[in-house]
Chain A
């Protein structure tokens, strides 16, 4: 085992959406910071090989070969996966895990992680989401509330650039917004119908991490205006959407305090029995399989929700034989995710004289209207609904028409009917039985135990899904849709790519792992600020909360560091 000569104040494990933020804040505060990334390096613009490719330049026009699908039944299911984005996803065979219950674990191992391929929705949590689990008896109390995070939401929003409108909705507090993306004509109609028929519901413009009108701070990052290509997940050569690669990491690098070490999988966090603190991390070079020890006074775990669980579970010492900080045995339990199974769609007659210019990379949001201030339904938790209307090339002609030949070609070269869709993003209950743990006998190619997933749906999910399908249908009927179809995708948990929890925050060290500053209760110089820290799942897209919590914790850590307490 080798001990590198460089000295670091802080180590950040992971370079994705939260790791990038930890690196930026720590470096700006003057801490010499090492970012460990298990995958390869990705440099903004240079490493976006498909960004400017035309559809006809892809051999299978966006799809992959049969052989690839056969070998990658898991990763090829991910939203946005295709020939143009495959390089930002793992391949199944390289990274096995054990599914005690079906769980689609979607991963992107490279500098930037899944921030390259994320959905970019950026709604804030309301205080109701922080308080509802305890209020309605389906979770423990969060140690923080909306007011603790609000200034950090602003801090993050201003830097990454989030478009949207200030709508004054209780379920979804306003943020610092750049101008919104337009509604199209049918979405304007939907907005009006919701206002007229559902006074307690709010259909609003997308709150998405796109630079609709870049400000000085964004130009300083070298990022420019979103070009409305909606090819985001290839990596944006314009820096139109936020990723670690286009924004936080190069920003951190400018301070001169950043070192990124790719191809470095973290095996465990090392605990010093004498000091009662973590002393560093054990790293394995993924190519050479050499082991290294890196030491630092502060360690941020941002390895992605389940990998952060894995690292802590694998960090054993005589003081902590069952994983670092895990006296209560709750590490790896209470895994949550988002209920994504339901969608509703229908044909929208009319509006034949309207069309759109450009490709909207965002989607209108219907704020949660269930169980907001008290439990009103036969299920707990709420759901956010994403929706929209689109008009593509004509795909269907009336059956009576001739459907080959010149006239047919001209007909299908024109725009077709409008369609409306909605899909849900529902809160799930964090339960002790929904857990991950280490395999007793199976290891990966670096000798690290495989993660076992035991996470499933429950009756609450089924009731919420049924409610969404019913309400969605009713709204589409009110819009005037025909041919309405409801769908339960039946997908396994995980495919939502919103897995969270396992190292939850809480007030009481007896029933939680982290305190209000995301420090392990029992090992204060280890911070967890990725999805693993979540006490409950809420119903908003979680990434921006991870970023806000990370910035908040990193600034706290830097202050403690400077005052000699860490």
Chain B
């Protein structure tokens, strides 16, 4: 890690803001740490949300294989600011309601195709909100899924190419469309 990476972390280059970053930028009040912020039934829901965003395919495992539910719980519980935690928990409620409203059953009872159909418009909504500088709860699920998946062992080693000890640096090698990116 060098100063180049420090620049990237601030989002100055890619323009991405890490949710939870507000904490170390501005400081924030201590959360009311209630045990069971995220429940066991939430965990199963988070796994399936993650799997719908990044499903297992013939090319690589899905987010569930990466233990995405547990990862989200860990980050939200220990790293998110209280307001962000609240938005995240409320978001889970909204997803459940949406499933009931649109399909007449719980999210866990939906087929993979129904789940996909439910989340597709949500993702659009979230991206529109982000364009207006707002944080939609779905952006949290998605960002955590991407982060947790690609930094997990299955994500880093199977979806990406992982080589912790390259041995040397070669500046220019060919890249063909479809080649996996290097994991970091």
Interchain CB contact under 8 A, A413 and B120? no
Residues of chain B contacted by A410 (CB below 8 angstroms): 57, 59-60
- Choose, from A1-9, A52-60, A146-154, the stretch at the interface: A52-60
- For A65, the closest partner residue in chain B by CB is B78
Residues of chain B contacted by A499 (CB below 8 angstroms): none
- Contacts A413-B180, A421-B13 given; does A70 touch B166 at CB 8 Å: no
Q: Is B31 an interface residue (CB 8 A)?
A: yes
Residues of chain A contacted by B165 (CB below 8 angstroms): 227, 229
Q: Is A280 an interface residue (CB 8 A)?
A: no
Interchain CB contact under 8 A, B170 and A182? yes
- Contacts A410-B59, A413-B160, A414-B179 given; does A56 touch B74 at CB 8 Å: no
In the bound complex, what is the Cα–Cα distance between A119 and B167 (angstroms)? Answer: 20
In the bound complex, what is the Cα–Cα distance between A550 and B147 (angstroms)? Answer: 45
Residues of chain A contacted by B120 (CB below 8 angstroms): 402, 404
In the bound complex, what is the Cα–Cα distance between A363 and B169 (angstroms)? Answer: 13
Residues of chain A contacted by B97 (CB below 8 angstroms): none
Interchain CB contact under 8 A, B27 and A73? yes
User: Interface 1/0s, chain A 405-447, versus B by CB < 8 A?
Assistant: 1101110111110010101000000000000000000000000
User: Interface 1/0s, chain A 192-210, versus B by CB < 8 A?
Assistant: 0000000000000000000
Residues of chain A contacted by B173 (CB below 8 angstroms): 354-357
Shortest beta-carbon distance from B58 to chain A in Å: 9
Within 8 A of A (CB), among B33-65: 52-55, 57, 59-60, 62
Interface size, A (range): 35 or more
Interchain CB contact under 8 A, B172 and A363? no
Q: Is B140 an interface residue (CB 8 A)?
A: no
- Choose, from A79-87, A301-309, A450-458, the stretch at the interface: A79-87
- Contacts A395-B14, A404-B52, A421-B13 given; does A363 touch B2 at CB 8 Å: yes
- For B176, the closest partner residue in chain A by CB is A353
Residues of chain B contacted by A230 (CB below 8 angstroms): 1-2
Residues of chain A contacted by B14 (CB below 8 angstroms): 395, 419
Interchain CB contact under 8 A, A66 and B57? no
Q: Is B17 an interface residue (CB 8 A)?
A: no
Q: Which of A54, A183, A233, A403 contacts B1 (CB 8 A)?
A: A233
Interchain CB contact under 8 A, B166 and A228? yes
In the bound complex, what is the Cα–Cα distance between A405 and B179 (angstroms)? Answer: 19
User: Interface 1/0s, chain A 283-309, versus B by CB < 8 A?
Assistant: 000000000000000000000000000
- Contacts A357-B169, A405-B52, A414-B180 given; does A485 touch B2 at CB 8 Å: no
- For B126, the closest partner residue in chain A by CB is A403
Which residues does B use to contact A, with CB under 8 Å? 1-7, 10, 12-16, 20, 23-24, 27-28, 30-31, 52-55, 57, 59-60, 62, 71, 74-75, 78-81, 116, 119-120, 123, 127, 142, 146-148, 150-153, 156, 159-160, 163-184
Interface contacts beyond A79-B6, A392-B181: sample of 18 additional A-B pairs, CB < 8 Å, sorted by A: A52-B164, A59-B78, A66-B23, A66-B78, A69-B23, A70-B30, A79-B1, A80-B1, A80-B3, A182-B171, A184-B172, A343-B12, A386-B3, A394-B181, A404-B116, A412-B146, A413-B159, A414-B177
Which residues does A use to contact B, with CB under 8 Å? 52, 54-56, 59-63, 65-67, 69-70, 73, 76-77, 79-80, 82, 84-85, 119-120, 181-185, 187-188, 225, 227-233, 343, 345, 352-363, 386, 388, 390, 392-395, 399, 402-406, 408-410, 412-416, 419, 421, 423, 485, 487, 489
Name 6 interchain pairs, CB-CB below 8 A, sorted by A.
Answer: A66-B20, A408-B53, A410-B59, A413-B160, A419-B14, A485-B12
